[in-house]
Amino acid sequence: MHELGIVFYIIRDVKKAAQEHGVEHVNAVVMNIGEVSTVVPEYLTDCWRWAADKEDVLRGCELKCNILPAVTTCNACGKEYPTVQHGIRCPYCGSEDTVLKCGNEVEIKELEV
């Protein structure tokens, strides 16, 4: 539900980068989206199409989403496990003293120009 807001942030950053590099048109924007980032890639690309086509430098520009896996580290036993499958409880020792190692990224990786 907050994908449109995020799209506005992406557009602002991409326009700035395009200007800095003297680029007149961007063909694609590649995003890194973590599995537990709360961003729904389909909604993000829908909002992107609507908003990007209003900008000359981004008209027809594609938004590509790389999905990055979420991994949690257990503080009790030190092992790592996939977050989406097991949540906060470590599948090895049952501890809930766990921290997300990665998987909440919402990051602009690169531009194709």
Residues 7-26 that bind other proteins (CB under 8 A): 9-10, 12-14, 17, 21, 23
Residue 86 DSSP SS3: helix
**Distance in Å, CB of 59 to other proteins, minimum:** 17
Per the listing, tokens 């896996």 go with 69
How many chain residues interact with other proteins (CB under 8 A)? Answer: 26
* Residue 112 binding other proteins, by CB under 8 A: yes
Of residues 52-111, those binding other proteins (CB under 8 A): 88, 96, 105-111
Tokens of 88: 């906060």
Nearer to other proteins, 5 or 42 (CB): 5
Q: Is the dihedral of CA 67, 37, 46, 10 positive or negative?
A: negative
Spatial distance between the Cα atoms of 31 and 9, rounded to a whole number of angstroms:
12
- Choose one: 1-9, 48-56, 59-67, 73-81; the region binding other proteins (CB under 8 A): 1-9
Pick 84 or 88: Cβ nearer other proteins: 88
Spatial separation of the C-alpha atoms in residues 111 and 19, rounded to whole Å: 12
